[in-house]
Chain A
Amino acid sequence: MAMAPPRKGENYELRQQLNSEYREKRADAIKRVIANHTIGKDCSGLFPDVVKNMQTDDLEQKKLVYLYLMNYAKTQPELVILAVNTFVKDTADPNPLVRALAIRTMSILRAEKILDYLASPLSRCLKDDNPYVRKTAALCVAKVFDLKSELCVEYGFVETLRDLIGDGNPMVVANAVAALADIYEASLNLPDTPPTSPGRSSPPPSSKPNPELFIIDPPTLTKLLVALNECSEWGRIAILNTLARYKALDEKESEHICERVMPQFQHVNAAVVLGAVKVIMIHMKAVTREDLIKSLTRKMAPPLVTLISSPPEVQWVALRNINLLLQKRPGILANEMRVFFCKYNDPPYVKVEKLDIMVRLASEKNVDTLLGELKEYASEVDVDFVRKAVRAVGQVAIKIDEAAERCVGVLMELIETRVSYVVQEAVIVIKDIFRKYPHSYEGIIPTLCANLEELDEPEAKASLIWIIGEYAEKIENADELLGTFLESFKEESYPVQLQTLTAIVKLFLKKPDESQTIVQKVLQAATKDCDSADVRDRAYIYWRLLSSDPAAAKSVVLAVRPPISLPQTTVAPAILEELLAEVSSLASVYHKPAATFIGKGRLGAEEMQRRALEPEEENAREKALQTVVAGQQAENLLDFDADDEPQPSSAGGSQSLSMLGKGGISSSTISNVAKSTNPLDELMDLFSTASMTTPATQPVAPKSTVSGIQGLQDDRQDTNTTHDAFAGLTGLGSPPQGLGDGNGVTSPVQSQGQGQQSGGAQDDLLGLF
């Protein structure tokens, strides 16, 4: 065993051995050097002694010396020159393995000096008789490009590489394609004007290869399709990647590509299967023949299902991709829900993904089986998974109207268990069900209220309070129940405080006679003892609403909320398309565009936002205008930007506002708008803060704003939370009005309540100017 414990003067001892006259001893010493390097010891001092052993007939020893050189060439650039002769000699060795080894190693020594000696051996190897040497040399071009791109351009290596695509050997083709793709990527990051390298008097050679070299023409396509069926699995992946980049000339060509790639679904390597899925998803866009599309999607399903039997890590990658594919084509796995049932011993990350996919596949036909499964999962021990399972029950209820009743039944059974986190999650979920199906399941309210003491998480508490407020007229002891929360008002978290406040105001509006005192108390407590500005502001709004015009207060607070639904997609459509073009990549696993997590100029939240909105950009200005108009007329106080996109309200708002600035709306319009609300001027200050901050502090889903703003949270809970955002807002306001309705009519005879509501939107405008 070479990994001996360190001793004093070990390097000295090694040096002795490396210079020993016995071959065995030298070979052994080299192994020890490599072992030392592996565990992180610096062996650079032995450089000259190791290099001396380079000239040997023993291939294994040669490989080890080369390995050493790769690791230390950079630190000893002066000494690398010692090795050059041997390298150059080896690239002409009669043994092709040695030739390949030499050129492979030589091209990754990160030393400027050696690169100058590399050019001629490399061009020789690129044209070697032996395909093994050629395929190795093909990759060397990419390596050299990485180190010194001018060299590649100067010697025309990229052109040679391109010629290799026509090579008779499929492996060579695959490596040439891979190298070209790599160079293409790298050349995108190069500056257009080549840097002037010091020490060169002649005009510096361009470091950027001719971009035309990367364009695939139809003859090349034919070659690639032929090579695809013949080369190794890894080569197939490289070729599939290139096919994904190819822009088909017409529909016929797209069809042809799809047909030729389809057999790859049967490959045993998951990366090949997913690579084929990627190519087909891209080229299928151009296909219009219904029968072909049908047959493609049908053939795609079985291999995807088979991936679920892979090792867990591969399975997870497949599941994340299936999740994306289902967002685009929900039908492909419609009958396959059973394979996604969680096994008891699946790793947690796999289980969570399966859960999500099951909800996507839920339909009226399979909902009973699914609910049985979810109930089973809810009795497992992994708290996180159990919560997600309970949440899934709620999602199914919202997705399938017919199953809602059964879902409620399951949730009630789960509440029976009285396991704290199950109960809390169930309460949160039931709140959503009440939003979707108001007045349908009032019968369960007493059971929920009986669990009041069990709740200790803010979200669960807030949900239950919301339910009580919503159905205050039907709950006899609503004032008592809310009273208990009022008692501990000061200690509660802000979301709970906000909900308590709103719920008590609702109660007052519904049963004014009994709850006069309690509403007084809560308004007092919220305005005096509370240190959250949002809670105070909301309390002030209510207070003034109630004192000035109870009817208006009623229309605001008790307004009908917009219905919620389970969104089909968790990512914006534009991003979904982008991700589907990258199936099997990291981006598709994270459900985020690659630019968000790689490269220097990583996209910030704003950029993401912009990109998510891109397809709607044309409408954006119009929308912005409408938002203003809607603000005048609208019945909603705070939802000035809560249109139906899953975008975060605040960011979306500022977007529209900045668009507005460019749009050049005359400031007179704005002032007109502002004037129309003059009776409420005194409220302006309050409104500005309230409207701007409410999205961030809305009670039921504090997470949603954050996730929305970042735009890259892949938290699937968003399906619910985005709607929760509305829930929070509309707990106070009324449903967002269809933006199309607003056509700029300023009506001076608006009811006071409506006038007030417009304040939020206008005030933002004022802030802008």
Chain B
Amino acid sequence: MISAFFIFNQKGEVLISRLFRQDVKRSISDVFRIQVISNPDVRSPIITLGSTSFFHVRINNVYVVGVTKCNASAALVFEFLYRFITISRSYFSKLDEESVKNNFVLIYELLDEIIDFGFPQNSEIDTLKMYITTESIKSEMAVREDSSKITIQATGATSWRRSDVKYRKNEAFVDVIETVNLLMSKEGAVLRADVDGQILMRAYLSGTPECKFGLNDKLVLQKRYVSSYGNEASKSDDAVELDDCQFHQCVRLGKFDSDRSISFIPPDGEFELMRYRSTSNINLPFRLQTHVTEPSKSRVEYTIHLRANFDPKLNANNVLLRIPTPLNTTGVQTKVGVGKAKYVPGENVIVWKIPRLQGAQECTLTAEADLAATTHRQAWSRPPIQVDFSVVMFTASGLLVRFLKVFEKSGYQSVKWVRYLSKANGSYQIRVSLEYPLPRKTD
């Protein structure tokens, strides 16, 4: 199990140190500083020195480190480190050196609660916030009032929900957020297209509501079902094939496994109900045609043609293309019909921003990059073009929420809202073919 937990800044100074077991000493932090932080060759996130293993995650300008001396579950340690990051974010919005320094008392308090003797305990943000708050006075009052309720909740079968929640208006908001992953080859063939979906829910419901949730997933988790129905059937039903689903711990997995129904008692407030993955029939929201030529040794010409491939009634927001240029680029002239394009020398990319793009709309960028004459051409790895975007009320997988039913013993009516969003953030990549030979070694 985890023997110690540290947070380091980039210089290797200890910001937080907490030992859980006596098999490590505080001085172990020096080992990490010397062997990992000041060693530029470290490539692996787990380093084992002697019999001590260091697991680290770098985030902003800090290292979050777990130390163990046994054959611990590596997945558990990383999940815990990431959970710690999530919790920190929800408490003080950003985890960096400054926020750690400002909140070190709170962090110790949190650590005390979420991990004991190296075993992670309760890490439900909702519950933690009940008795660990940033304002100590309030917490004191709250704790004295219902500390026994807290402890019941922190350990109970529904550890994620208080029993006495009351709202005048009962509402539930469902957000379906899809991250589209695309990898397109130079030749325009789709190498990989899939969707990582997330269903976020904000539940403002009184009492202990029992929810049932339905998607147009045709209750299929396995491809075998589809093959027995045939593709036509599934298409006419608008059913979506989900390759895999994962649920918040409130969802009854046994029930899902037996009859594929999603039923749960939701936590109060915001939470991630489920994650899913879909790989078939992905509607790619953007098509890209690229034409990149190198007419002479000192120039590269780009023609990038972008088409919004969705319903004209919908809009894409914040479309951003990052078009890489060779490393010896000295300047770029760009011409665009829509949006703004700018060359960013520090990152060797042309950034093309389109704040708003209607469905079915097309636009083009032409650019000329001037290259400095070099005796030895640096190998340029030709990074792919990235497209970032968000399209509201559009799901690339075609997923729809069929129903959300809420049952509560008082029998109140509740209002439900559903939103859809498809987005990409660095995951929508199109490889570029440069119509000049691969970088050659010049003698």
Residues of chain A touching chain B, judged by Cβ–Cβ distance below 8 Å, are 1-3, 31, 34-35, 38-40, 57-60, 63-64, 67, 95-97, 100-101, 104, 108, 110, 130-133, 135-136, 139, 142-143, 146-147, 169-172, 175, 178, 182, 185, 229-230, 232-234, 237-238, 241, 262-264, 266-271, 273-275, 298-299, 302-303, 305-306, 309, 311-314, 316-318, 338-339, 341, 343-345, 347-349, 369, 372-373, 376, 379-381, 416-420, 582, 584-590, 594, 597-600, 602
Query: Could you list 17 further interchain pairs (A-B, Cβ under 8 angstroms) beyond the known A135-B155, A233-B249, A234-B119?
Result: A3-B101, A34-B105, A35-B104, A57-B140, A147-B22, A171-B156, A233-B79, A238-B119, A263-B253, A271-B76, A302-B243, A303-B244, A306-B275, A309-B181, A347-B43, A379-B438, A587-B71
Contact among A3, A59, A104, A302 for B139, CB-based, below 8 A = A59
Cβ of B159: which chain A residues have Cβ within 8 Å of it?
A: 171, 232
> Using an 8 Å CB-CB cutoff, how does the interface string of B44-64 with A read, 1 for contact, 0 for none?
111010010101010000000
28 contacts between A and B (CB under 8 A): A95-B144, A132-B152, A132-B154, A147-B22, A178-B119, A238-B119, A263-B257, A267-B253, A269-B79, A271-B73, A273-B75, A275-B73, A299-B222, A306-B246, A306-B275, A313-B57, A313-B78, A313-B82, A317-B75, A338-B191, A344-B429, A379-B439, A584-B76, A589-B46, A589-B74, A590-B48, A598-B71, A600-B51
Q: Judging by beta carbons under 8 Å apart, are B151 and A131 in contact?
A: yes
Contact among A64, A268, A339 for B247, CB-based, below 8 A = A268
Q: Judging by beta carbons under 8 Å apart, are A59 and B75 in contact?
A: no
Residues 9-45 (chain B) with a chain A CB within 8 angstroms: 13-17, 21-22, 26, 43-45
Q: Does B336 reach chain A (CB closer than 8 Å)?
A: no
- The CA-CA distance from A96 to B148 in the complex, in Å, is 6
Contact among A57, A175, A298, A586 for B72, CB-based, below 8 A = A586
Q: Judging by beta carbons under 8 Å apart, are A38 and B14 in contact?
A: yes
Q: Judging by beta carbons under 8 Å apart, are A582 and B75 in contact?
A: no
Q: Judging by beta carbons under 8 Å apart, are A420 and B441 in contact?
A: yes
Q: Does B410 reach chain A (CB closer than 8 Å)?
A: no
Q: Judging by beta carbons under 8 Å apart, are A59 and B438 in contact?
A: no
Q: Judging by beta carbons under 8 Å apart, are B74 and A586 in contact?
A: yes
Cβ of A303: which chain B residues have Cβ within 8 Å of it?
A: 244, 246
- The CA-CA distance from A57 to B144 in the complex, in Å, is 10
Contact among A230, A305, A369, A585 for B243, CB-based, below 8 A = A305
Q: Look across to chain A and name the residue whose beta carbon is closest to the beta carbon of B48.
A: A597
Q: Does B238 reach chain A (CB closer than 8 Å)?
A: no
Q: Judging by beta carbons under 8 Å apart, are A97 and B243 in contact?
A: no
Cβ of A104: which chain B residues have Cβ within 8 Å of it?
A: 112, 116
Cβ of B248: which chain A residues have Cβ within 8 Å of it?
A: 268
Contact among B48, B152, B192 for A341, CB-based, below 8 A = B192
Q: Does B339 reach chain A (CB closer than 8 Å)?
A: no
Q: Judging by beta carbons under 8 Å apart, are A132 and B151 in contact?
A: yes
How distant is A372 from chain B, measured CB to nearest CB, in Å?
Answer: 7
Q: Judging by beta carbons under 8 Å apart, are A268 and B275 in contact?
A: yes
Q: Look across to chain A and name the residue whose beta carbon is closest to the beta carbon of B49.
A: A597
Cβ of B313: which chain A residues have Cβ within 8 Å of it?
A: none
- The CA-CA distance from A380 to B255 in the complex, in Å, is 47
- The CA-CA distance from A379 to B381 in the complex, in Å, is 6
Q: Look across to chain B and name the residue whose beta carbon is closest to the beta carbon of A134.
A: B155
> Using an 8 Å CB-CB cutoff, how does the interface string of B261-300 with A read, 1 for contact, 0 for none?
0000000000010110100000000000000000000000
How distant is B281 from chain A, measured CB to nearest CB, in Å?
Answer: 15
Given A58-B136, A349-B45, verify A172-B131 contact (CB < 8 Å).
no
- The CA-CA distance from A602 to B71 in the complex, in Å, is 13
Given A1-B102, A314-B78, verify A379-B382 contact (CB < 8 Å).
yes
Contact among A268, A317, A381 for B379, CB-based, below 8 A = A381
How distant is A382 from chain B, measured CB to nearest CB, in Å?
Answer: 8
* 6 interchain residue pairs of minimum CB distance: A132-B151, A302-B244, A594-B71, A271-B75, A263-B253, A271-B76
Q: Judging by beta carbons under 8 Å apart, are B45 and A586 in contact?
A: no
- The CA-CA distance from A139 to B427 in the complex, in Å, is 43
- The CA-CA distance from A33 to B122 in the complex, in Å, is 28
How distant is A231 from chain B, measured CB to nearest CB, in Å?
Answer: 8
Cβ of B196: which chain A residues have Cβ within 8 Å of it?
A: 309
Q: Does B117 reach chain A (CB closer than 8 Å)?
A: yes
Cβ of B93: which chain A residues have Cβ within 8 Å of it?
A: none
Residues 116-132 (chain B) with a chain A CB within 8 angstroms: 116-117, 119-124, 131
Q: Judging by beta carbons under 8 Å apart, are A298 and B222 in contact?
A: yes
Contact among A234, A317, A344 for B120, CB-based, below 8 A = A234
Q: Judging by beta carbons under 8 Å apart, are A274 and B73 in contact?
A: yes
Q: Does B376 reach chain A (CB closer than 8 Å)?
A: no
Q: Judging by beta carbons under 8 Å apart, are A169 and B156 in contact?
A: yes
Q: Judging by beta carbons under 8 Å apart, are A131 and B155 in contact?
A: yes
Given A38-B104, A58-B136, verify A344-B75 contact (CB < 8 Å).
no
- The CA-CA distance from A38 to B14 in the complex, in Å, is 7
Q: Judging by beta carbons under 8 Å apart, are A602 and B75 in contact?
A: no
How distant is B107 from chain A, measured CB to nearest CB, in Å?
Answer: 10
Q: Judging by beta carbons under 8 Å apart, are B257 and A133 in contact?
A: no
Q: Does B185 reach chain A (CB closer than 8 Å)?
A: yes
- The CA-CA distance from A266 to B252 in the complex, in Å, is 10
- Does more than half of chain B's interface fall in helix, strand or loop, or is it mixed? mixed
Contact among B14, B70, B131, B440 for A97, CB-based, below 8 A = B131
Cβ of A110: which chain B residues have Cβ within 8 Å of it?
A: 22
How distant is A88 from chain B, measured CB to nearest CB, in Å?
Answer: 20
Q: Does B69 reach chain A (CB closer than 8 Å)?
A: yes
Identify the interface centre among B68, B105, B152: most chain A CB within 10 Å of its CB.
B105
Q: Judging by beta carbons under 8 Å apart, are B75 and A584 in contact?
A: yes
Cβ of B116: which chain A residues have Cβ within 8 Å of it?
A: 104, 136, 139
Cβ of B101: which chain A residues have Cβ within 8 Å of it?
A: 1, 3
- The CA-CA distance from A169 to B427 in the complex, in Å, is 43
How distant is A129 from chain B, measured CB to nearest CB, in Å?
Answer: 9
- The CA-CA distance from A120 to B430 in the complex, in Å, is 67
Cβ of A130: which chain B residues have Cβ within 8 Å of it?
A: 148, 151-152
Given A39-B13, A234-B120, A270-B79, verify A171-B74 contact (CB < 8 Å).
no
Q: Judging by beta carbons under 8 Å apart, are B185 and A267 in contact?
A: no
Contact among B53, B105, B383 for A60, CB-based, below 8 A = B105
Q: Judging by beta carbons under 8 Å apart, are A599 and B44 in contact?
A: no
Q: Judging by beta carbons under 8 Å apart, are A172 and B117 in contact?
A: no
Q: Does B147 reach chain A (CB closer than 8 Å)?
A: yes
- The CA-CA distance from A588 to B249 in the complex, in Å, is 26
- The CA-CA distance from A588 to B76 in the complex, in Å, is 13
Cβ of B78: which chain A residues have Cβ within 8 Å of it?
A: 270-271, 311, 313-314, 317
Cβ of A95: which chain B residues have Cβ within 8 Å of it?
A: 143-144, 147-148
Given A38-B14, A172-B155, verify A182-B244 contact (CB < 8 Å).
no
Residues 69-97 (chain B) with a chain A CB within 8 angstroms: 69-76, 78-82
Cβ of A132: which chain B residues have Cβ within 8 Å of it?
A: 150-152, 154-155
Given A264-B253, A309-B196, verify A598-B79 contact (CB < 8 Å).
no
Q: Judging by beta carbons under 8 Å apart, are A133 and B439 in contact?
A: no
How distant is B338 from chain A, measured CB to nearest CB, in Å?
Answer: 26
How distant is B98 from chain A, measured CB to nearest CB, in Å?
Answer: 10
- The CA-CA distance from A594 to B185 in the complex, in Å, is 42
Q: Does B214 reach chain A (CB closer than 8 Å)?
A: no
How distant is A510 from chain B, measured CB to nearest CB, in Å?
Answer: 35
Cβ of B44: which chain A residues have Cβ within 8 Å of it?
A: 316, 349
Cβ of A35: which chain B residues have Cβ within 8 Å of it?
A: 104
How distant is A554 from chain B, measured CB to nearest CB, in Å?
Answer: 41
Contact among B144, B156, B426 for A131, CB-based, below 8 A = B156
- The CA-CA distance from A589 to B26 in the complex, in Å, is 26
- The CA-CA distance from A419 to B440 in the complex, in Å, is 6
Residues 380-420 (chain B) with a chain A CB within 8 angstroms: 380-384
Cβ of B55: which chain A residues have Cβ within 8 Å of it?
A: 313
Q: Look across to chain B and name the residue whose beta carbon is closest to the beta carbon of A58.
A: B140
Q: Does B1 reach chain A (CB closer than 8 Å)?
A: yes
- The CA-CA distance from A369 to B192 in the complex, in Å, is 11
Cβ of B21: which chain A residues have Cβ within 8 Å of it?
A: 146
Q: Judging by beta carbons under 8 Å apart, are B277 and A344 in contact?
A: no
How distant is B161 from chain A, measured CB to nearest CB, in Å?
Answer: 13
Given A313-B78, A586-B74, verify A598-B69 contact (CB < 8 Å).
yes
Q: Judging by beta carbons under 8 Å apart, are B75 and A274 in contact?
A: yes
